[in-house]
Amino acid sequence: MKWEVLPAKKNPKKFTFFLIFVIFISLLFGISFGPFFGILALLVLLGSNANFFTKTKYEITDRNILVRRPFYEIKKDWEWVKRIELDKNGIFLSPFEKKTWLDPFRGVFLMCDNPGEVYNELKRMGKIKEKLPESS
């Protein structure tokens, strides 16, 4: 299964606000501290938010998960995934069986417009194991 996501295209109002904010902060730094710091502020703000305005490509196969971004890619084997969580904006893959404070740093979030469809495809592929209720 393959798909790509471009959050800026999905939400043009946020993108417009983001551009105005970046230009305003960069100009403020440029006027206050000089052109070097204005350009530095522009580069830092654009770089730290690159996932918002650049295309991300996702690919799920029987062997692994591949996330391609403009300057790097993440490839994880299914053995690495211990927990899968459905979210309104996508699917979170974690290397931990239980929630932990390390999740945001170690996990991989698969952004998608139709997380239910991707979740069902993962079920069909056998990647999601339904937990049976414990009997008393």
In tens, the pLDDT along 21-80 reads: 999 999 999 999 999 999 999 999 999 988 888 899 999 988 889 999 888 899 998 889
Among the listed residues 52, 43, 59, the one whose alpha carbon sits nearest the alpha carbon of residue 2? 59
SS3 11: coil
Q: What is the pTM of this model?
A: 0.77
108-111 vs 90-94, strand pairing mode: antiparallel
- Among 4-8, 21-25, 104-108, top mean pLDDT goes to 21-25
